[in-house]
Amino acid sequence: MEENRKVRIAAVADIHVKETDRGKWADYFKAVCTKADVLLICGDLTDTGDEDEAKILADELRACTIPVICVLGNHDYEKGRQKLIRQTVQSQNVHVLDGECIVIEGVGFAGVKGFGGGFDNHMLTMFGENAMKAFVQEAVDEALHLERALTKLNSGPEPLKKIAVLHYAPIRATVIGEPEAIFPFLGSSRLAEPLIRNEVIAAFHGHAHAGTLEGDINGTIKVFNVAKPILVRAGYELPFFLFEV
């Protein structure tokens, strides 16, 4: 990357590609490529977790001339075909991260789906029934996967600017707008801990369609909920958020 050159990162989530969407997305991806250097798709790539939906997305993504980084979302897990969806979408230009990292244009990206569990003093704890313990363990495991991915980005010869790509929210602020009763199912503060320790500059997520576009962690880490419905509601003519690093 040229010294002082800004890397333009486009981000969107919850695109929910359907079997009827053939031909719908190519022009969108072409337009994004004229504005950005990297595209992030933060989960819910498919509408019902079906491989035929993933095939349509893979075909539409051929219109992209910039690198694409994705994570899966809860919709992509609906039919238990998440591994097949990942294989279908992944290509030389499309990177589906699940606890992995990649460096593009001198910027390090780490991606996980994340999970629920609640925020701050209202986080669920590993106590009680086995089902509750399993729910909390899933959130812990996702946070550990994120930690490992970010740690790998710290191992290079020079420090990198780091971006986290998630589906579930790492903070409460960007799910505000949703019913408070479902906050524990929209994200977890456990995901914020690796972001703080590894000095991430920004995190992008989706999932909370009625949430809030922007928040932060300790005033230093920007967090953006780029769910497509939020961007549409905010008046973005082309629903993607642009962030420069």
197-226 residue pLDDT tens: 999 999 999 999 999 999 999 999 999 999
The pLDDT of residue 138 is above 50: yes
Q: Report the side by side order of strands in the sheet with 202-205.
A: 100-104, 107-111, 161-165, 202-205, 221-225, 214-217
Amino acid (1-letter code) at residue 169: A
- Write out pLDDT tens, residues 5-19: 899 999 999 999 999
Q: Give the HSE-up count for residue 88: Cα atoms under 13 Å, Cβ half-sphere.
A: 21
Token pair 């579930």: residue: 168
pLDDT given for residue 64 in this prediction: 96
User: Mean pLDDT in the chain?
Assistant: 95
Closest CA to 31 of 65, 58, 7: 65
Helices (H), 69-219: 82-89, 130-153, 192-197
> What is the average pLDDT across 118-134?
94
Of residues 108, 96, 101, 37, the one with CA closest to residue 70 = 96
Torsion, CA 174, CA 176, CA 178, CA 184, rounded to 10: 70
Backbone angles phi, psi at 164, to 5 degrees: -105, 135
Question: By CB neighbour count within 10 A (0-12 exposed, 13-18 middle, 19+ buried), where does 90 fall?
Answer: middle
pLDDT given for residue 1 in this prediction: 43
Indicate whether 136 pLDDT > 80.
yes
Residue range 43-58: mean pLDDT, rounded = 97
pLDDT in tens, 146-192: 999 999 998 777 789 999 999 999 999 999 999 999 999 999 999 99
Residue 3 pLDDT > 80: no
Q: What is the pLDDT of residues 60-110, one digit of tens each?
A: 999 999 999 999 999 999 999 999 999 999 999 999 999 999 999 999 999
- Euclidean distance between CA atoms 211 and 209, whole angstroms: 6
Domains contained in the chain, CATH given: 8-244 (3.60.21.10)
